[in-house]
Amino acid sequence: MPEEVLPEEVLPEEVLGVDGISVSRSGRRVLDDVRFSIRSGELTGLIGSNGAGKTTLLRAVLGLQPVTGGRVLVAGRPRRRRGRLIGYVPQKTVLDPDVPMRARDVVALGLEGHRLGMPLPNAQRRLLVDRMLRAVGAQEFADARVGHLSGGEQQRVLIAHALVSRPKLLLMDEPLANLDLRSEQEVVDLLARIATEQRIAVLISAHDMNPLLPVTDRIVYLADGRAVSGRVDEVVRSEVLSGLYRHPVEVLRVHGRVLVLGAPAVSAPAVSAPAASADEGVRS
């Protein structure tokens, strides 16, 4: 009897390919030959301190920042400016308490951003909005004024707004900033579940990787415009980060948290910018 041949495992689709992009501004190299990819269903952390180039990289992926080299591929094709394949939650979105909009109204705005022609019928719009509100656990405050919601609740609404048009890629710029520990963990768990259930590639920028460690599939670690990427255990190693920072770096794991420490030989100015928290960069 011939041996049964099992089909090869089908790899998830590559949703985002960043192929050697560089960005220069005012004669300064902000990003330098950055390369990584993300597949459907993966949650990837984009880690780096303030000034490392995280927002510039996200803007380059969105097509809002011109690049001086390399290219960005979305679903295997050169990226067009925004487009419906990409959902985006920007950094520090302020929702004014006086704005007379309900949570469901904010989510509904995401349906028309990339659509041409006639708007969807009201019944169909409501169905899509209600479905997305349930997906992010926001149905209980769907009819509340969005400006009156807590920080964690507002993040759920903004995520639903970005996802309601069913993109393949979700970009989030510092979504955990200014959240308390409980809301932070709730948002992280929510994004991990959405990535898995909806097969969306999620890229989250953060200066501290520790909240993401239990759920992240891969990380992209940025320092001085350069990047290394891979699984956490591949990237967060003393020899790898020492090469990235071009300074001696020590990685410690203490009570489930990661600390990235600069060696004593590194001067304070060189290490103060890359770090401020448990693993956001080199410390003195």
User: What's residue 218's pLDDT?
Assistant: 94
Q: Mind listing the pLDDT tens digit for each residue in 100-114? A: 889 999 999 888 654
Distance CA 146, CA 31 (A): 36
Q: Mind listing the pLDDT tens digit for each residue in 149-180? A: 988 899 999 999 999 988 999 999 999 888 88
Cβ-Cβ contacts under 8 Å for 145 (sequence gap 6 or more): 97, 99, 100, 101, 102
User: What's residue 220's pLDDT?
Assistant: 97
**By C-alpha distance, which of 33, 94, 49, 28 is closest to 228?**
33
User: What's residue 60's pLDDT?
Assistant: 94
User: What's residue 27's pLDDT?
Assistant: 85
User: What's residue 80's pLDDT?
Assistant: 67
**By C-alpha distance, which of 30, 277, 63, 283 is closest to 169?**
63
Distance CA 13, CA 232 (A): 21
User: What's residue 4's pLDDT?
Assistant: 46
**By C-alpha distance, which of 201, 139, 207 is closest to 178?**
207
Q: 119 falls in which pLDDT band (50, 70, 90)?
A: low
**Are 52 and 222 within 8 A, CB to CB?**
yes
Q: 145 falls in which pLDDT band (50, 70, 90)?
A: very high
Q: Mind listing the pLDDT tens digit for each residue in 57-105? A: 999 999 999 999 999 999 888 876 556 789 999 886 767 787 788 999 9
Q: Which domains does the chain have, with CATH numbers?
A: 10-85+167-240 (3.40.50.300), 94-163 (no CATH)
Q: Mind listing the pLDDT tens digit for each residue in 213-269? A: 989 999 999 998 999 999 999 999 999 999 999 889 899 888 878 888 874 443 333
